[in-house]
Amino acid sequence: MLSPRFEEALAFAARHHGAQTRHNTGTPYVSHLLATCAIVLEEGGGETAAIGALLHDVLEDQPTERAALQAAFGEDVYRIVDDCTDADAGQRRNLTWWERKRAHVQRMSELAGAESLLVIAADKVCSLQSLVDDLHRFGPSLFERSARTADELLWNYREVLAVVERRLGRRPVVVRLQRLLAEFEALAVDPAR
């Protein structure tokens, strides 16, 4: 059962991400948070992991104080959100995408707990499904408007998959991530290379 704490997290996520949209479609960003949360719950994650899923991008994407997040939702939720964060909004100004992603994969590999890895895997499944859907809609030309190339994204998803495979085993969310990664590669990578 989910408690009023879950409802508070849902409202917190909606307030903080309410004006944010997905980059290619203009879909309200909260849809990503809800989908990630749904995957976590379907995988047997408890309320703490579900709340972490709802809030997993709040440090990265929104000017949110770490102490305020910790005070509002406790150390366990804060740890999950921190483990899911490659760099908070302030840190992002001083780091390149490559620096953030390499450091995050390293932290994931060494420090992240099982609940955090479940949320990370669910987040990647959700993001990769959206990307595959966009490739079906728009084709590889969508990368002409993207901040990242297909090869950069492919590298990052492969690195994350390697960590979650090793740490979580072959649970359904990991298998879904494997399948989506193969589909992404088939759709996005130029077959002429």
Q: Which one of 61, 151, 159, 165 is the catalytic residue?
A: 61
| Mean pLDDT, all residues of the chain | 89
Query: 4-188: what fold?
Result: Hypothetical protein af1432 (1.10.3210)
Residue 24 has pLDDT above 80, yes or no: no
Which residues have a Cβ under 8 Å from the Cβ of 49 and sit 6 or more positions away? 40, 80, 115, 118, 119
Q: Which of 42, 47, 57, 60 is catalytic?
A: 60
pLDDT for the residue 46: 96
Residue 174 to residue 30: CA distance in whole angstroms: 23
Q: Examine the pLDDT at 125 and tell me if it is beyond 70.
A: yes
Determine the pLDDT at residue 21: 62
Is 86 annotated as catalytic? no
More reliable by pLDDT, 19 or 48: 48
Token look-up 């072959």 returns 170
Query: Is residue 41 over pLDDT 90?
Result: yes
82 is catalytic: no
Q: Domain locations in the chain?
A: 4-188
Is residue 88 within 8 Å of residue 68, measured between CB atoms? no
Rounded CA-CA distance 20/101 in Å is: 22
What tens digit of pLDDT does each residue of 127-151 get? 999 999 989 988 888 888 888 899 9
